Structure 1
Amino acid sequence: MAHRVIGQERLGFADHRRTASSLDEIGKLIDWQPVTALLDALYSATKGELAWPPLAMFKALLLSIWYDLSDVKLAEALDDRASFRRFCGFSGSEATPERTAFVRYRRALVAHGLDVALFDAVAAQLKARAVTVKVGTLVDATIIASASEDDVDGRWVKHKGKSAVHGFKAHIGADATTALVEKIAITPANVNDGRAGPDALPDDPGEVFADSAYRGNHFGDAVRAKGGTPRIVATGMWGRDETETLARLAAWNRPIHRVRGRIEKIFGTWKRCYGLRRMRWRGLAKAAVQVHLTAIAYNLKRTLSIVTVAA
């Protein structure tokens, strides 16, 4: 299973007139060799053809997320934009993948089940770059509409005051200080947040901030089992005096709301900027790939912002 060799005219990119791009800085954030090692088994070409290098294809999928591009638009942009070519490792004049190559590549990713391993490999390096003292974890979930209501892996869910949605739910655990996503679980949309929450807990979570959907022993015990302390929004408290009891309830919830509100910015970026308003492909496995790729793309951009400010 041979792969094409690309970037043979890389010296052409030494032109000092080129426009600087944030993609150049993102490319320097991590050592891509561990990612290459994970992807090396992928061969996404038709029979008898050389396959495009797996790392170049992986980086191209990240571009499709950052710029919310369809496969057709991604192929066009990769052929046309110098910054895209540099990021993926293509020289200035060689051919780039066509639309169908991305379809085959995603199928190979799903078949090999590499999305979690890729997310973990990148997240570990980025966490080391954005050096902070771990103080807490944000846990929450967001509903993402399915590509089609005929998707047999999706489920219907309805919240009070909102229209019913057919789709999936992304449960995430993020660092409370850096807002880097550390752990992800993907379920059908009707799975209870508190039931799936333990699967989104990273190791050594510290204080875990979550809304009232995570009340109950199932989630709380999982947090304590990992050495963390649950900080869950309360909906009521016992007390003899109503005014005093409501004041205690507000005092408990206020700092939790203030911290956990940061996770909404993560979901907002995924949906408004990265096209995760709806799944692009059918099936739970493909939904998991899309969410993990989106989280990788988000973490790379977020880490670039952190290290730039710290510099």
Structure 2
Amino acid sequence: MARRRIGQDMLVFSSESAARQSTLDRLLELIDWVPVEHQLRDISCAAKGEPAWPPLALFKAMLIAVWHDLSNVRLAEALDDRGSFRRFCGFSAHEPTPERTAFVRLRAQLVACGLDQVLFDAVTSQLRAKAITVKTGTLVDATVIASASHADPEAGWAGHQRRKAIHSFKAHVGADADTALVEALCVTPGNVHDGRAGGGALPEAPGEVYADSAYRGHIFGAAIAARGGTPRIVQTGMWGRPGDDTLRKLRRWNYDIHRVRCRIEKIFGTWKRSYGLRRMRWRGLAKATLQVHLTAIAYNLRRSLTLLTNPAA
């Protein structure tokens, strides 16, 4: 397939980048992008009769869209205008950049080829290797994300306690208990129970698995046992005789779990507050899964950069 050659005049950026290195420049150096490019080798995002844009450049641009909560139109405009965006994607200072439809075609290709999980694994495996702590446990939880439209037949209605039900998807996430890097995830309609889908958010060798009371039950417990983990699930009751210290033991057990498990809420807060994941951009379960995977990749890259810069963060 014919592809455009980009970045032939990158020396134009040399004096600017030497004077001041942006966060995107540091993210570019954080991992080896060759394995990611290898996974994209069969992707073609060309309009008919035109050479294709390099898929790695488009994929990096989609990460920028997550970090800055940009639509396809705003992304195309920003990529044409901002030097740091051009450097990160591999474009030189004065060459043309992709139009918005190129990102639409890339998204369609990623969904058709099922590459979102592959790309997530390719990036996360490198970041996990850079982890500065030894893995001791996994945080598991789910967050509800409003669907792009109430007409989306693959979403479901989800309500919680006294909150108003919303038409949504649900992202089930497993994150490292120490680094807060997302290691596994799956996306379901919003009406799927956490305990039934939680096994899809468990990485291999999860260690101690911290989760709230929605994950009680044999289905999630069996998934933890199959991966050699140890369940640390919030309990709503405990057997005991009247007058003994059963209630104190229950509170102590739940307090120790909540103290660790609460860290995953910061992940969801970042996704929704900073990365625009309050609502799905596209309709359908496959595209919703792609959006969550892109968000998780973008989050893991920024989180890893923070940890390497400040290990105590």
Give the aligned partner of residue 113 of structure 1. 114
Structure 1, 10-19 or 213-222: larger mean CA deviation: 10-19
Which secondary structure does the structure 2 equivalent of 1:173 belong to? strand
Query: How many angstroms apart in 2 are the aligned matches of 1:131 and 1:233?
Result: 28
Give the aligned partner of residue 6 of structure 1. 6
Q: Any stretches of 5+ residues in structure 1 without a counterpart?
A: none
Deviation at 1:18, TM superposition (A): 5.1
Query: Given the two structures, how large is their TM-score scaled by the length of structure 2?
Result: 0.97
Give the aligned partner of residue 100 of structure 2. 99
Give the aligned partner of residue 42 of structure 1. 43
Q: Is the 8 A contact 2:146 2:280 kept in 1?
A: yes
Query: How many angstroms apart in 2 are the aligned matches of 1:242 and 1:115?
Result: 55
Deviation at 1:131, TM superposition (A): 3.0
Query: How many angstroms apart in 2 are the aligned matches of 1:47 and 1:95?
Result: 18
Query: How many angstroms apart in 1 are the aligned matches of 2:15 and 2:270?
Result: 34
Give the aligned partner of residue 28 of structure 1. 29
Q: 1:165 to 1:13 in 2, by over 3 A?
A: same
Give the aligned partner of residue 53 of structure 2. 52
Is 1:253 aligned to residue 254 of structure 2? yes
Which secondary structure does the structure 2 equivalent of 1:15 belong to? helix
Query: How many angstroms apart in 1 are the aligned matches of 2:116 and 2:242?
Result: 52
Q: Any stretches of 5+ residues in structure 2 without a counterpart?
A: none
Q: Is the 8 A contact 2:132 2:311 kept in 1?
A: no
Deviation at 1:241, TM superposition (A): 2.7
Number of residue equivalences: 311
1:230 partner amino acid: P
Deviation at 1:310, TM superposition (A): 3.9
The 5 Å alignment of 1:259-274 reads 259-274=260-275
Question: Among the aligned pairs, what percent are the same residue?
Answer: 65
Give the aligned partner of residue 286 of structure 1. 287
Query: How many angstroms apart in 2 are the aligned matches of 1:198 and 1:289?
Result: 19
Give the aligned partner of residue 245 of structure 2. 244
Give the aligned partner of residue 149 of structure 1. 150
The 5 Å alignment of 1:69-108 reads 69-108=70-109
Is 1:185 aligned to residue 215 of structure 2? no
Which secondary structure does the structure 1 equivalent of 2:260 belong to? helix
Query: How many angstroms apart in 1 are the aligned matches of 2:180 and 2:83?
Result: 31
Deviation at 1:240, TM superposition (A): 1.6
2:11 partner amino acid: L
Q: Deviations over 1:106-142 (max 9, x none)?
A: 1111111100000001000000012321100000000
Which secondary structure does the structure 2 equivalent of 1:240 belong to? coil
Give the aligned partner of residue 215 of structure 1. 216
Which secondary structure does the structure 1 equivalent of 2:310 belong to? helix
Deviation at 1:19, TM superposition (A): 3.7
Give the aligned partner of residue 159 of structure 1. 160
Query: How many angstroms apart in 1 are the aligned matches of 2:311 and 2:149?
Result: 43
Which secondary structure does the structure 1 equivalent of 2:200 belong to? helix
Q: Deviations over 1:214-236 (max 9, x none)?
A: 00111112111211100000001
Give the aligned partner of residue 302 of structure 1. 303
Q: Is the 8 A contact 2:135 2:207 kept in 1?
A: yes
Q: 1:83 to 1:243 in 2, by over 3 A?
A: farther
Which secondary structure does the structure 2 equivalent of 1:179 belong to? coil
Which secondary structure does the structure 2 equivalent of 1:166 belong to? strand
2:272 partner amino acid: K
Q: 1:9 to 1:141 in 2, by over 3 A?
A: same
Give the aligned partner of residue 227 of structure 2. 226
Give the aligned partner of residue 124 of structure 1. 125
Which secondary structure does the structure 2 equivalent of 1:93 belong to? coil
2:101 partner amino acid: T
Query: How many angstroms apart in 2 are the aligned matches of 1:145 and 1:54?
Result: 29
Which secondary structure does the structure 2 equivalent of 1:289 belong to? helix
